[in-house]
Amino acid sequence: SAVISQKPSRDICQRGTSLTIQCQVDSQVTMMFWYRQQPGQSLTLIATANQGSEATYESGFVIDKFPISRPNLTFSTLTVSNMSPEDSSIYLCSVLTGTGIGSEQFFGPGTRLTVL
Amino acid sequence: GQNIDQPTEMTATEGAIVQINCTYQTSGFNGLFWYQQHAGEAPTFLSYNVLDGLEEKGRFSSFLSRSKGYSYLLLKELQMKDSASYLCARLDSNYQLIWGAGTKLIIKP
């Protein structure tokens, strides 16, 4: 298994500011992902955080708005830049351990962001 | 496309059994996940199926048919705390999860 911690757990931010969310895993993992879940909607994958290289973003998400770092196999950050109220959401770090049949996916506790 | 289809909402009675179905695209398939999510909380892993058949874990069972692109989650002896959204997600060959919109399960006394 993998234990994931996220900081901060929640924050209230002003429009136009930026927030960096940290994700720490207690073991080396195969892959790390960043998701968000807006109120009343399903989980949406933002990007896959690649160790030592640029993240892979999903359609509708760009690096300038959501820069991601992954300096090593157990840590990643997601920055929500130039925030607007539409960015209010729960942001989730997720990891995949193992490969193939042995794979498991785990989620962090989430960061609840409110933008005023 | 990569649609994952599951019912939007289901209602069941405490103590009863409910089956939540999920259909998905079969190409590039690398496994099927079921998650439980209570409002305002992160999803909780329930099961991961990659081979055909039924896997049981306590009151919960998950079934997979790869040829049909079909899975279901079976919940027995329903309890009020089982009221939640149940998310079906397909893992593709690039280890990307494609999520369904979730099934909101309402348990009535």
pLDDT in tens, A19-44: 999 999 999 887 789 999 887 676 78
Residue of B nearest to A108 (CA): B42
Q: What is the pLDDT of residue A102?
A: 54
CA gap B104, B87 in Å, rounded: 9
Instruction: State the nearest Cα–Cα gap between A11 and chain B, in angstroms.
Output: 15
For A65-100, the pLDDT digits (tens) are: 999 999 988 999 999 999 999 999 999 999 987 654
Q: What is the pLDDT of residue A43?
A: 73
Q: pLDDT band for position A115 (50/70/90)?
A: very high
> Which among A31, A105, A110 has the least Cβ separation from residue B33?
A105
Mutation target to probe the A interface, by most A beta carbons within 10 A, among B98, B99, B103, B104 is B99
pLDDT in tens, chain B (109 residues): 457 999 999 999 999 999 999 999 888 887 888 988 888 776 777 887 888 898 888 899 999 999 999 999 999 999 999 999 999 999 776 666 788 889 999 999 9
The two three-digit tokens of residue B100, written as one number: 């369904």
Other CB atoms within 10 A of residue A59 CB? 6
Spell out which residues of chain A touch residue B8, defining contact as CB-CB under 8 Å: none
Q: How far is CA B70 from CA A5, A33, A69, A76, B53, in A?
A: 34, 26, 37, 34, 11
Strands B4-5 and B9-13: unpaired
